[in-house]
Amino acid sequence: MRKPLLLLALAASVCAVAQQRLLGGDISMLPSYEESKAVYRDSEGKAVKPLEMFSQLGWNAMRVRLFVDPGLAPADHKDEGVCQDIGYVKRLGAMIKRAGFRFMLDFHYSDTWADPGKQFMPARWSGVPRTALPDSVYAYTRASLEALVGAGAAPDLIQVGNEISNGMMWPEAKTSPFDDANQQLFGSLLAAGCRACRDVCPEAKVIIHTEKAGDWAFTKAFYDRLATLDYDVIGLSYYPMWHKAVGVLSATLDSLAVRYPDKPVMIVETAAYYSHANDRWAASPDQYAEFYPISIDGQRMFTRELVAELRRHANVTGLFWWFPEENGSCGSMMGNWINRGLFDNRTGRLLPAVYDFMGFIGE
């Protein structure tokens, strides 16, 4: 009877955490926008301060990415917002904490974007022997966290890696959960990062983040390999244009609850298009409209359905919008082409999807 009782206790723990859901966004570009004099407006057109407004809307957590040496990133990546070095993150993290939000730190173990299609080795570790890389990750993670703690920006949640389904720090730790190649090194890198988090920020929740929310077989295989890793939360990216319909996400969440009853789940990245204006990547005005129209109403429809679904899952304890602060009112920063934020790029006005987003922590 011991095992069923343990599972019941773990399930009760997850349910208790669900009563304290986190709602927020990855606002890594906010200081850059504010320095460029972007004007943020509420739905009535009145100028607002984003952090104050998000707090009034019930948001209680903010996420920020950290690159190793973003000054070494390719020029076009810098134009896409790769600028978050430790000094930048110390300032923004301290601002987030002073405003009363929980602070989620997202380690990109790279000088530029780390995602399923690229996990470039940081320049500072190029040529470091494979056997020494875990020590390098530990030292870097520890030093970064100590700097943040000293700046009054101690993270409450820490991602050890960003969208790492295919490993990290390529080519050395490039892998797949269906392949044993480089798995030992990949596991050692994760363990080193997690250990540094425990040593410096023992109260923080450690998150392992993947982006296969629409693929249960892959997600299961990935997290099964982490059975001995010391971490707290399963973090998922979920975008409807890449990860299938909300119903597919629901099936993944149900399966996670059964297989990993002791691991709360957070959707650490989500967003949906409201436009393709200036989008150099969109092949047509209707690209990615398989499930939701590319319109302000379509973005709101997605948000309403996502929130309603997530509230059905007691194991889901956090929801974060990626890049809500995108704002074309200051000119051409980042090209104003992503069009998945929560402010209209043309007017700087708050988009109506934000009110549906609030429902994740509402009654």
What distance in Å separates the CA atoms of residue 8 and residue 28, rounded to the nearest whole number?
Answer: 38
- CA-based Rg of the chain, rounded to a whole angstrom? 20
Lowest-pLDDT choice from 104-108, 223-227, 240-244, 329-333: 329-333
Place 216 in a pLDDT band, splitting at 50, 70 and 90.
very high
- Model confidence over 63-78: pLDDT tens digits? 999 999 999 998 888 8
What distance in Å separates the CA atoms of residue 133 and residue 113, rounded to the nearest whole number?
Answer: 20
Q: Dmax over Cα atoms in the chain, in whole Å?
A: 64
Lowest-pLDDT choice from 50-59, 70-79, 144-153, 156-165: 70-79
Quote the pLDDT of residue 29. Answer: 96
Percent of the chain scored above 90 by pLDDT? 86
Quote the pLDDT of residue 11. Answer: 43
Over the chain, what is the mean pLDDT?
A: 93
What distance in Å separates the CA atoms of residue 165 and residue 219, rounded to the nearest whole number?
Answer: 8
Quote the pLDDT of residue 75. Answer: 87
- Model confidence over 39-48: pLDDT tens digits? 999 999 999 9
Alpha helices in the chain (DSSP H): 2-18, 30-35, 50-56, 75-79, 86-98, 133-150, 183-200, 216-224, 240-243, 246-259, 296-310, 353-357
Quote the pLDDT of residue 2. Answer: 44
Place 4 in a pLDDT band, splitting at 50, 70 and 90.
very low
- The phi, psi pair for 337, rounded to 5°, reads -115, -10
Q: What is the mean pLDDT of residues 288-311?
A: 97
- The phi, psi pair for 159, rounded to 5°, reads -90, 125
Instruction: Name 208's bridge partners.
Output: 234
pLDDT at 5 over 60: no
pLDDT top residue among 301 and 4: 301
Q: Do the strands 167-168 and 173-174 form a parallel or antiparallel pair, or are they unpaired?
A: antiparallel
> Is the CB of residue 247 less than 8 Å from the CB of residue 273?
no
- Per DSSP, the chain holds a count of helices (H) and strands (E) of 12, 12
What distance in Å separates the CA atoms of residue 141 and residue 248, rounded to the nearest whole number?
Answer: 35
Place 9 in a pLDDT band, splitting at 50, 70 and 90.
very low
> Is the CB of residue 102 less than 8 Å from the CB of residue 22?
yes
